[in-house]
Amino acid sequence: MMGMLSTFEIVAEPHRRRILELLREEERVVGELVAELGLAQPAVSKHLKVLREAGLVTAEIDAQRRVYRLVAEPLRELEAWVAPFRRHWAKHLDDLERHLASMPDDPQDRKTAAARTTRRTQSTTRSKR
Amino acid sequence: MKESSKKRKAPKQAAPAAPLEGMHIEVLGEVRRFERRLSHAPEKVWRALTDAKELAAWFPAIMEGARERGASLRFVFPAGEAPSTEGNVSEGRITEHEPPRLLEYTMGSETLRWELAAIPEGTLLVFTTEVKLTSAPANDNAVEACRMAA
């Protein structure tokens, strides 16, 4: 398994992202990638070397040509890392506040929680000490 | 109650948009801090943060495991809200557990810290969440190659 840092740095480079996008559609040989990216072949080869060493693509020799394919697994690790950033904590804290308002102050009173809700103003006042 | 609630967001650090060659990973961590004044006693807020029945009403995942320092946790998320590699489950551990003042635990790559202080109107809740990379850069060659190609 490779580190997140590597995946992150590697995917941050726009040309490498473009290569990954192209490989997502179908496998390609270097010549096709050179044409699509509009970069010189040595530059494309360097990017492919980085992607290969990071395990993001594989290269298979087919009739003397290297065919590049996408490997999705490291990208899923990246996705797992990014996921917490999408969590909406402000919303969850709003939900917490709303739930607190419906909870009984005394844990023994759980069964009467519904009845308590109507007297919430009173109990809130009481909790101010 | 709504008017008295306060949110504060720490400034976001380095957005991962630009090329990051040569940058250290620490800057990719993000800390967010929220502050809420609650008109409920700390003991009650503590129950809302730890009791499975109460958590079910507001927390984004089901939190399984003992409620004590060092305990292993398992978080089960509803479909669509979990990191895809982990399925619907994230692992974690309780790192601080001092009822009813301080609760801290990890949830996947995220660290959640809940600090409760008694105030005249009830509880001042300070919640911080930090996302950290859990795995070290295991493939230094790739990073090096990445720098050279840049």
Give the model confidence (pLDDT) of B21-58 as tens digits.
333 333 345 678 999 999 999 999 999 999 999 999 99
Give the model confidence (pLDDT) of A36-63 as tens digits.
999 999 999 999 999 999 899 999 988 8
- Say what the pLDDT of residue A44 is: 96
Computed over every residue of chain B, the mean pLDDT equals 75
CB contact under 8 A, A84 and B109: yes
Domain assignment present for residue B47? The answer is yes
DSSP letters, chain B, are -TTT-B---PPPP--TTS--TT--GGGG-EEEEEEEEESS-HHHHHHHHH-HHHHTTT-SSEEES-SSTT-EEEEEPPTTSS-GGGTTEEEEEEEEEETTTEEEEEETTEEEEEEEEEETTEEEEEEEEEE---S----HHHHHHHHHH-
For A93, B48, B78, B93, B129, the CA distances from B59, given in Å and listed in that order, are 9, 9, 11, 17, 14
Could you tell me the residue range of the domain that residue B93 belongs to?
29-149
Amino acid at A67: V
The C-alpha atoms of residue A77 and residue A113 are separated, in whole angstroms, by 43
CB contact under 8 A, A5 and B146: no
- Least CB–CB distance from A127: residue in B40, B57, B82: B40
pTM of structure: 0.59
Does the CB of A109 have a partner CB in chain B at under 8 Å?
Answer: no
Domain assignment present for residue B23? The answer is no
- Contact list in B for residue A83 (CB cut-off 8 A) is 82-84, 108
Average pLDDT over every residue of A24-39? 94
Domain over A4-79 is classified CATH 3.40.50.2300:
no
Domain coordinates in residue numbering, chain A: 4-79, 88-127
> How close A63 comes to chain B (CA, Å)?
27
Structural domain count, chain B: 1
Domain assignment present for residue B8? The answer is no
The domain that contains B137 carries what CATH number?
Answer: 3.30.530.20
CB contact under 8 A, A105 and B41: yes
> How close A62 comes to chain B (CA, Å)?
25
Amino acid at B6: K
- Contact list in A for residue B17 (CB cut-off 8 A) is 12
